[in-house]
Amino acid sequence: MLLWRKRMGWLIAASLGVGCAPAARPEAAGGARLSDSAFGAVVTRYSEPDRYFDTDNLISNEGAYLDVVTGLERRGVRGGAYLGVGPDQNFSYIARIRPNIAFIIDIRRDNLLQHLWYKALFAAAPTRSAFLARVYGKRLADSAEWRDAPVSDLVGAIADLPTDSGTAEAIVAETVEATAALGVPLSVEDLATVAGIHRRFIAAGPDLRFTTFGRAPRPCYPTHRDLLVAVDRRGAPASYLATEEDYRFVRRLEERNLIIPVVGDLAGPTALPGIAEYLRRRGEGVSAFYVSNVEFYLVQDGTFPQYVENVARLPGDDPILIRSVFQGPAARRRTASGSTCSAQLLQPAATLVGARSGVAFQSYTDLVTRDTLPLGP
């Protein structure tokens, strides 16, 4: 442990003195739409080679992911560009922050394919009820009664619908066909992966859980239902399906090709540096960057300094980092979501890159607990 701490201190000390890029002037709300061909070109240009990770990551394992909502609101984190990792928990942060453009960066190509699958689902579903029914391979007649229904009622009603294999497979086929037409070059194997992702959601329904290969899910991992009906620290539903307005905002960004998934390592040479330059040319500053617990693995891999350099290149007036912490005392905080495996934290990116802290971090725990921002009630 002492050796690991020394290495951690050296890694972060090597990054001190690197500041965030100056603020960039944002565009009009919503940003300029990308054509399908431009969307496909950006996805391809900034993607790196696929990397293996030992989880399916179809959904998050962070039950307390919405605990940061009040803190983001208190800091006025809104608009600009949003960056994140992982699957659909990003949509909930997007619904709260209302960015002009978003990039989802993940080392797994399967995550990119899953986001293209989501994109196809959004395109086919003008309402929350239609969207969620298609996710689970069902058809629900649109009705005014669902427009203002609590998301918990909506999830429950769709879960209670019988699953018809013919209907489910027809929806899978429709979605795969729509995914193939999104402007991103996809192989036969890619499309088979998309179909497999959809079938996993259909088979498990709202009870789907995050899976680590070779190990059973931990009891504290939330189900998909738990994530969709999750509340913020005030007890208010805050997922992207909480209201029709939230859903429509995310859907509009998807329709304008402004939620852009890429394959990339946060410490890699292409994805994050390329996105930073793209946003700078576009005139967008980064408002928030959801890194989950990726930094823990970057420290283990010895690539943490490169990651810090990449964060330092991001345009914007001190973006806010959104973290999930699974290790140490920080992960044992009480949260509004009850028993979870992790806790959420907020920290200014300037703290990470050393713009406001001249003392090296001594450990990962030191990194994720220094200069954390209050989350509010």
pLDDT of residue 232: 95
Tell me how crowded residue 45 is: count the other CB atoms within 10 A of its CB: 13
- Report if residue 374 sits inside a domain: no
Residue 7 falls within a domain, yes or no? yes
DSSP string, 305-368: HHHHHHHHT--SSSPEEEEEE-SSGGGG---TT-S-S-EEEEEEHHHHHTSS--S---SHHHHH
C-alpha to C-alpha distance for 112 and 322, rounded to whole angstroms:
20
Containing domain of residue 241, as a range?
A: 2-369
Residue 82 pLDDT > 80, yes or no? yes
Q: What is the pLDDT of residues 268-296, one digit of tens each?
A: 999 999 999 999 999 999 999 999 999 98
Predicted TM-score (pTM) of the model is 0.88
Mean pLDDT value across the chain: 86
Share of the chain above pLDDT 70, in %: 83
Full strand arrangement of the beta sheet holding 320-325: 259-263, 101-106, 81-84, 286-292, 320-325, 343-348
Q: Quote the number of domains for the chain.
A: 1
Residue 377, domain member (yes or no): no
- The better pLDDT of the pair 361, 67 is held by 67
Structural contact between residues 190 and 261, judged by C-beta atoms closer than 8 angstroms: no
Please indicate, yes or no, if residue 22 is contained in any of the structural domains: yes
**Quick one: which of 346, 349, 333, 312 has its CA closest to 73?**
346
301 within a domain of the structure (yes/no): yes
- Please tell me the distance from the alpha carbon of residue 146 to that of residue 247, in angstroms, as a whole number: 13
pLDDT tops 90 at residue 265? yes
Evaluate whether residue 376 is within a structural domain: no
Task: Write down the pLDDT at residue 367.
Answer: 85
Residue 110's pLDDT band, with cuts at 50, 70 and 90, is: very high
User: Residue 16 pLDDT more than 80?
Assistant: no
Residue 142 belongs to a domain: yes
Mean pLDDT for the stretch of residues 138-167: 90
Considering the domain boundaries, does residue 375 fall inside one?
Answer: no
Percent of the chain beyond pLDDT 90? Answer: 67
Least confident range from 30-34, 91-95, 155-159, 352-356: namely: 352-356
